[in-house]
Amino acid sequence: MAEYSFATDDVFPSQDELEVQESWVDRVVVLAAVGTVDLLTAPKLNEAIAAAAAKSPAGLIIDLSKVDFLATAGISVLVTARTNVTPTARFGVVADGPATSRPITLLGIEITLFRTLDDALHDFSSA
């Protein structure tokens, strides 16, 4: 009988598979996510959103243009963030492609989507 072994890192990817970078344009904070947003990494995105929202921005943009996989856990983080942020600030998501905008659109999630970060920043600056 053959013996099998596997590394747990292959089965359970680390949270290092998601990077979230914060930048500011005037009073709008942009959180650019890079990598995978799934059950294991969604809390990292949630923490970044909470930390940014605590700084009282006029707007919060989540840039998912470099996300290669968006699971329902990540979508849940976005929905919660929209609910928590919108009473005092604008909220939008940059998502263009099958890995990000498609699941949000197919689920009928009411989140303002933008194809590019420039589109989002232009929209936020004109309001």
pLDDT, greater one: 16 or 74: 74
The domain covering 19-125 belongs, at the CATH homologous superfamily level, to: STAS domain (3.30.750.24)
Q: What pTM value is reported for the model?
A: 0.86
Q: Which of 81, 71, 88, 87 is nearest to 111 (CA)?
A: 81
Q: Which of 5-9, 62-66, 92-96 has the lowest mean pLDDT?
A: 5-9
Helix (H, G, I), strand (E, B) or coil at 117: helix
Which of 70, 75, 64 is CA-nearest to residue 116? Answer: 64
Out of 1-15, 64-78, 104-118, least confident range: 1-15
Read off φ and ψ for residue 122, nearest 5 degrees: -65, -45
Asked if 96 contacts 115 with a C-beta cutoff of 8 angstroms, the reply is yes
